[in-house]
């Protein structure tokens, strides 16, 4: 696989904030060499390892499955390990996910995010005695909620959501995705309970159908559609 292009130099403008030193965030520019196959994560690592070790960001799997490195790259929330540098041009801006308190540089406080996730009871509820083997579920029933099983809790969606920015009490798209995953799982018996939780001002009704969430999702989940299904389910339950 011969390299079509040679290494080139790109400029990363990164939002920095060190709570031990800074009173406010500020921008810092770095020049860094990029291979054609590099992702933004590769550039961040190169900067951290060879230019400025104080640059802080979360990362782990490097392959878009763990959800650690969600951040705002050129104005869009994405996973740094999935964004190819060659698709971005020579000036790349990197900021932490909007809507969350910054701990340091690109690391944000995700406790509110996980708190909202916990609020929707994101676990199977079924107190019926299970069979000795598996509970049956048809392929059609399985397909019903397949999309929302893909969520990796990266927070790109919630961090892209204007209603969430406006009021952090809104549980946000990710929590709704995970509620959907159980509401539409034929094995779950917590439907009424969960729909009651969603049927609140800052539950599903906090969603204003902006649609940024779907655009931001690195897993391609049709989030807005899933939320709309939840809203319809609430209404059906009420009538």
Tell the smallest beta-carbon distance from residue 122 to another protein (Å): 5
- Is residue 197 within the footprint of another protein (CB under 8 A)? no
Question: DSSP 3-state assignment of 91?
Answer: strand
Q: Exactly one of 11, 27, 28, 137 binds another protein (CB under 8 A); which one?
A: 137
> Smallest distance from the beta carbon of 71 to another protein, in angstroms?
14
Site for another protein in 199-218 (CB under 8 A): none
- Residue 15 interacting with another protein (CB under 8 A): no
By the rule CB under 8 A, 191 interacts with another protein: no
Q: Cα separation of 231 and 79, whole Å?
A: 28
Burial of residue 209 (CB within 10 Å: 0-12, 13-18, 19+) is: exposed
98 touches 162 (CB < 8 A): no
Q: Judged by CB under 8 A, does residue 107 bind another protein?
A: yes
Q: Check residue 48 for interaction with another protein (CB under 8 A).
A: yes
C-beta closer to another protein: residue 174 or 198: 174
Closest CB to another protein among 188 and 233?
188
Is 49 an interacting residue with respect to another protein (CB under 8 A)? yes
CA separation for the pair 75, 195 (Å, rounded): 34
Give the count of residues interacting with another protein (CB under 8 A): 62
Contact 94, 42 (CB under 8 A): no
Asked if 66 interacts with another protein (CB under 8 A), we say yes
d(CA 173, CA 183): 15
Q: Do the Cβ atoms of 238 and 199 come closer than 8 Å?
A: yes
Binding of residue 103 to another protein (CB under 8 A): yes
CA nearest neighbour of 212 among 201, 220, 223, 204: 223
User: What is the spatial distance between Cα 135 and Cα 140, in angstroms, rounded to a whole number?
Assistant: 15
* Residues binding another protein (CB under 8 A): 1, 18-21, 37, 48-50, 52-54, 56-68, 82, 84, 103-105, 107, 110, 114, 118, 121-124, 126, 130, 132-139, 141-142, 145-146, 149-153, 182, 185, 187-188, 220
């Amino acid at each position: 696989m011969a390299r079509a292009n040679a290494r080139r130099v790109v400029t990363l403008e990164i939002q920095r904030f060190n709570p031990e030193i800074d009173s406010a965030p500020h921008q810092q520019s770095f020049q860094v060499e990029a291979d054609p196959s590099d992702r933004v994560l590769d550039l961040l690592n190169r900067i951290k390892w060879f230019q400025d070790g104080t640059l802080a960001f979360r990362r782990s799997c490097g392959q878009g499955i763990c959800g650690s490195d969600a951040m705002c790259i050129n104005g869009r929330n994405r996973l740094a390990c999935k964004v190819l540098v060659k698709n971005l041009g020579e000036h790349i801006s990197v900021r932490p996910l909007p809507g969350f308190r910054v701990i340091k540089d690109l690391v944000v406080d995700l406790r509110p995010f996980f708190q909202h996730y916990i609020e929707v009871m994101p676990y199977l509820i079924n107190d019926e005695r299970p069979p000795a083997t598996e509970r049956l579920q048809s392929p059609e029933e399985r397909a019903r909620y397949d999309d929302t099983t893909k969520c990796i809790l990266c927070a790109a969606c919630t961090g892209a959501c204007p209603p969430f920015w406006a009021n952090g009490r809104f549980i946000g798209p990710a929590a709704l995705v995970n509620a959907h995953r159980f509401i539409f799982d034929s094995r779950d018996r917590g439907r009424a309970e969960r729909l009651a939780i969603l049927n609140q001002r800052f539950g599903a009704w906090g969603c204003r159908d902006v649609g940024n969430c779907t655009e931001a999702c690195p897993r391609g989940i049709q989030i807005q559609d899933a939320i709309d299904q939840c809203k319809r389910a609430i209404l059906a339950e009420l009538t």
